[in-house]
Amino acid sequence: MDVLEDETTTDFLDLLGEEGLLQKRVIISYTKKIMELGKAGELKKAVKLFEEMPQRNQVSWNAMLTVLIESNQLDKARRLFYQEMPEFNPRSYTLMITGLSRFGFVDEARKVFDSVPIKEKNVVLWTAMLSCYTHNGNPILGLKLFARSYSHFSELLVIPNAHTFTIVLKACLDVRSLVTAMQIHGLAIKVLDGRSKDSVFVKNSLIDLHAKLGNLSDAEKIFSGIKWKDLSSWNIMMDGYMRHMLIDKAHGMFKAMGEKDTLSYNIMISGFAESGFGVDALELFLRLLKLQSSVKVKPNSSTYTIVLSVCATFTMLRFGVQIHASLFKCGILPGNIYIDNSLINMYARCGCIEETEQLFNDMPKRDVVSWNTLIVGLGQNGCARKALEVAEEVLKLGFYNGSTFVGLLTSCSHGGLVDKGMKYLTSMTSKYGIQPSIDHYNCVIDMLGRAGRLTEAYDLLWKMPLAPNAVTWAAILSASVVHSNKEIGEIAAHELRVLDPFNAANHMMLAKVYGGTGQMEKLWQTLGLMSKIGSKKGRGCSWILE
């Protein structure tokens, strides 16, 4: 309504005579009602009212275009824009670009952008086109557009604002270009000229970018240099510490924050969980539950998704069941697909396969994550054949992605269905158009190793078109332990010393190979090496199959 009110103020101040005043009041009344009906989801009524309008102006046409776009009626919005609207203003062009961007029609949006007359170009329109590129996976094109059009827009006295710079910095992050980001930073300082509100907005984006690109020290410098920090500044810096596993610094910042919101708690709970401190994560969640009665901060869907992931990772079934019950009490369930997926994962990880299937069957709506989670859950709980039945159904429906095959191959591995697994690997590219990733090859190597076909697994490792990682070699080493193959075991252990030198499990597996083959001297050497270099225990983790 803010944009509408601005336009009505601009268009209707200059009124001539009582008759003109009455006509303009009628147009304003109709237009506001159309917007209200659109926001209420009454699209047919809004269209009918628009068609009944005795007169229309530019604001009215833009209002109808807004309603159609917000109602996801792109084809009708196109017809209105291209065929029916008598004229356009900058708002019209921006609305159409935004609508096309939402549905991924980037080239068409660019044609609209290029068709805008010089006098109609403004910073909102420019930013909308940059945003279209960034949010549709074309960050390089967004950066090129900004670089090539900056001088042109400057000549028109169109200056980028804080939102423009934030979009461009997002593009820098997507292409992982710290050099370009620093150039944008310098330009932002010059253009914004220290305006506190706009400056904070951009600096928050810079903190996030530096932290995510591994340049934490500069992120800290930018944070320290902000005179008037807002809540987002604190949350972004805390998230940066979490990304670098600096749990103590993040926790110290959390405690020092004068104001916290739900995101603050979500960052901290998630950080505890990912760092292996499941109990701390749940304790903080319980503290948040107690706080919600006295402050406005309360758990949201993301909070519950994180907590259910903790319950799944640490197999805390009893706590997970309590969370499940509380979700009904607070009205979040039924119908939240993200939480439903997290519940399916939690019950599956805790071995409750009946509850897993029941939850899946009761879901009013499913996405590819729902199917993938069920397939993995069935496979990991000894129901490999049922998992494959579900997977075959998904493949027939065409509702699959690369993670579907990870779940499928994992099920074959746990069920000993080696030949089926090998056929699925072969058919991924030829039949389903998915190029196998290192995760798929790791599943197959694990499957072959479990079945005692260690030589085949080792051969596949060298033939696959991707470089093996620590997981690949760990699967080979594990199979070597089971089948007492010290030659391959030693090779795998050597590779793991380079890739993951402080992992206790790898050294312990090699020691078992030596112990199983009676090589006691090498056994004691390996155990002695463990004590010299120190070792770490791998954290538990949970796969989110997107």
Residue by residue, pLDDT tens for the chain (546 residues) are 344 444 444 444 444 445 556 677 878 888 888 888 888 888 898 888 888 888 888 898 999 999 999 998 999 999 999 999 999 999 999 999 999 999 999 999 999 999 999 888 899 999 999 999 999 999 999 999 999 888 888 888 888 988 999 999 999 999 998 889 888 888 888 888 756 566 788 889 999 999 998 889 999 999 998 888 899 999 999 999 999 989 999 999 999 998 899 999 999 999 999 888 888 999 999 999 888 766 678 888 899 999 999 999 888 999 999 999 888 887 777 778 999 999 999 999 999 999 999 999 988 888 899 999 999 999 889 898 899 999 999 898 888 899 999 999 999 998 889 999 999 999 999 899 999 999 999 999 999 999 999 999 999 999 999 999 989 988 998 888 888 787 888 788 778 777 776 666 666 666 666 666 565 666 566 555 555 555 444 444 333 334
Q: Say if 483 falls within a structural domain.
A: yes
Q: What is the 3-state secondary structure (H, E, C) of 343-395?
A: HHHHHHHCCCHHHHHHHHHHCCCCCHHHHHHHHHHHHHCCCHHHHHHHHHHHH
Q: Say if 513 falls within a structural domain.
A: yes
> In angstroms, rounded to a whole number, what is the distance separating the alpha carbons of residues 534 and 395?
46
The confidence score (pLDDT) of residue 527 equals 57
Name the one residue in this structure whose structure tokens are 């319980």: 286
Q: Where a domain ends, among 67, 85, 103?
A: 85
The confidence score (pLDDT) of residue 28 equals 84
Which residues span the domain enclosing 18? 1-85
Name the one residue in this structure whose structure tokens are 């807004």: 66
Do residues 84 and 76 touch, judged by C-beta distance below 8 A? no
Which amino acid would we find at residue 318?
R
Terminal CA-to-CA distance of the chain, rounded, Å? 36
The confidence score (pLDDT) of residue 29 equals 83
Q: Say if 487 falls within a structural domain.
A: yes
Q: Say if 545 falls within a structural domain.
A: yes
The confidence score (pLDDT) of residue 317 equals 92
CA distances from 335 to 96, 347, 435 (A): 32, 18, 34
> In angstroms, rounded to a whole number, what is the distance separating the alpha carbons of residues 333 and 301?
10
Q: What is the 3-state secondary structure (H, E, C) of 463-530?
A: HCCCCCCHHHHHHHHHHHHHCCCHHHHHHHHHHHHHHCCCEHHHHHHHHHHHHHCCCHHHHHHHHHHH
Q: Say if 257 falls within a structural domain.
A: no
Q: Say if 326 falls within a structural domain.
A: no
Is the sign of the CA dihedral 201, 285, 339, 211 positive or negative?
Answer: positive
Q: Where a domain ends, among 32, 60, 85?
A: 85
Segment (H or E) for 146: helix 139-155
CB environment 111-120: b (16+ within 10 A), e (fewer): ebbeebeeee
Q: Say if 532 falls within a structural domain.
A: yes
Q: Where a domain ends, among 42, 62, 85?
A: 85
Q: Which two tokens stand for residue 224?
A: 């320290």
Counting Cβ atoms within 10 Å, is residue 13 exposed (0-12), middle (13-18) or buried (19+)?
Answer: exposed
Q: What is the pTM of this model?
A: 0.73
The structural domain count of the chain equals 2
Q: Say if 495 falls within a structural domain.
A: yes
Q: Which two tokens stand for residue 472?
A: 């690949």
Which amino acid would we find at residue 430?
S
